[in-house]
Amino acid sequence: MDSSCGAGSLGRVCSFSLTSPFPFLLDLLPPGVCNLLNPAAIYANNEISLGDVEIYGFDYDYTLAQYSNLLHSMIFNTARDILIEQFKYPEGLGKYDYIPGFAIRGLHYDVQKSLLMKIDAFHYVQLGTAYRGLKPVPDEEVIELYGGTQHIPLYQMSDFYGKGPSLKQFMDIFSLPEMTLLSSVIDYFITHGIEFDQVHLYKDISDAIRDVHVKGVMYKWIEKDMEQYILHGDEIYAVLNRLVNHKKKLFLITNSPFSFVDKGMKHMVGKNWRDLFDMVIVQADKPNFFTDRRKPFRKLDDKGSLQWDKINQLEKGKIYKEGNLFDFLRLTGWRGSKVLYFGDHLYSDLADLMLRHGWRTGAIVPELETEIRIINTEQYMHSLTWQQALTGLLERMQMYQDAESKQVLLEWMKERQEIRSLTKNLFNPQFGSIFRTFHNPTYFSRRLVRFSDIYMASISCLLNYDVNFTFYPRRTPLQHEAPLWMDQLCTGCMKTPFLEEMVHIR
């Protein structure tokens, strides 16, 4: 334990070490605060009653079908070999392997500067999370690269679908191996003093990753060993069967091909899985499916072969390819808040449905489970509590301007920054939490709140709630409301209502 004391107007000051926290910190934590959050819970951004939902829609990959992390290594290795064999990149790249846990979802990549970084909801780069290749870029260099600021102007940021003029946001789980490959290739070129064109490199890697998907390589791996790659299949059957038994209509809209979806659903749900669904649409080409009226639906026979009939109705038990949402709405009449659609990609799956069409949306965020388990640890809670205490002290005591007090304030600021960095590393040593920068929500979190009514770690979380359950988002204080919250601790931590009930959700 390290401790330091400062005198002057501020009185006695003690510093804090995460490795062995002072016993007094335990007194700052309310009873039961560790293990407070349930990883199997569903969290609400917007009030929604499941009793009002008549129709449930689902994406397939990473929504109904959750995949093992082994898939990331396979995608990385195959795309790396495509770069070497087809794009004639240096054979030395073959020495690079996938690094589990290097990147997190939601990062931005500045193509011209070759920077992979985390940006908060206010367009500021989180210092300490900018990487060129596999090495961090000093904060001073990051600030210099952006004209003396951490701020990224709006015109440079991602557009509605995460593809800005110079910045690309990686939003789906399949992008984890892409970010790691991008960083590995840049690391090789920098290490070996090889000059490269940033735009061509980014495009080549994107094309190599795309080939793994488009040419069906990934589908073949999964089909050959579904036990190894597909997780929680039995729970998916329980969710779907329960909804059907309560007279809910179900549909599936996925970009994956029918043969792949059919084999996966048979593995998870059984050979009669199609009996559970009123509509099944494959190779939908989302997000274009939600915005482009030009592609008509085409029917597939039971073997997956295309039929030529004009589609005037969508029949239960039939399989359809492509199409568009406008024809879907016209043929089904399924509109507005009686429809709840689940997907893992905030842009491709959810954004248009919520903002343009008024459907209710549910985001599947597998990372939520791991992050909640970290939040529930004593180490995290001690760290957060002490950060809040220091922040409150800094805010209230900055009025003291004598030399000794100023020195103490500087020490507190340094200690606060050290604790924030240690807290970030609990989630990911390079980039921290998917949901937060040091204190602000991430850009990913901003989109999650904007595009989803509810979010959860997996679709199986629905099993923990009655089919008529109403989700009420907790009223959290706006900054000007915070002093009015009577149960606010002196440290700034907020008590959560219904503490005991939440612990026993599952």
Determine whether the annotation assigns residue 61 to a binding site.
Answer: yes
Name, in order, each residue with C-beta under 8 angstroms of 395's C-beta and a sequence gap of 6 or more: none
Strand pairing category for 66-67 and 55-58: unpaired
419 touches 363 (CB < 8 A):
no
Q: Residues 49-88, buried b or exposed e (16+ Cβ, 10 A)?
A: ebeebebbbbbbbbbbbbbeeebbbbbbbbbbebbeeeee
* Cα–Cα distance for residue pair 119/375, rounded to 1 Å: 21
348 touches 451 (CB < 8 A):
no
Q: At what angle do helices 403-427 and 378-397 cross, to 10 degrees?
A: 150
Helix (H, G, I), strand (E, B) or coil at 274: helix
Catalytic pick among 2, 27, 52, 59 = 59
The values of phi and psi at residue 114, to 5°, are 55, 45
Question: Rounded to a whole number, what is the distance in angstroms from the first to the last CA of the chain?
Answer: 38
306 touches 341 (CB < 8 A):
no
Structure tokens at 208: 């190599």
Residue 61 designated active-site: yes
Total residue length of the chain: 506
User: How much of the chain is helix, strand and coil, in % rounded to 5?
Assistant: 45, 15, 45
* Cα–Cα distance for residue pair 439/208, rounded to 1 Å: 36
225 touches 256 (CB < 8 A):
no
Catalytic pick among 61, 120, 172, 204 = 61
Element (H, E) at 456: strand 454-456
- Cα 399 from chain centroid (whole Å): 40
Structure tokens at 179: 């970010």
* Cα–Cα distance for residue pair 237/233, rounded to 1 Å: 7
- Residue given tokens 């597939």 in the structure block: 300
343 touches 349 (CB < 8 A):
yes
Strand pairing category for 48-49 and 470-471: antiparallel
Determine whether the annotation assigns residue 27 to a binding site.
Answer: no
User: What is the DSSP annotation of 168-225?
Assistant: EE--STTHHHHHHHHHHHHHHHHHTT----HHHHHHHHHHHHHHHHHTSHHHHHHHH-
Residue 97 designated active-site: no
Cβ count within 10 A of residue 492 = 16
Determine whether the annotation assigns residue 59 to a binding site.
Answer: yes
Catalytic (active-site) positions = 59, 61
Residue ranges for the known binding site for Mg(2+) are 59, 344
Residue ranges for the known binding site are 59, 61, 344
Residue ranges for the known binding site for GMP are 61
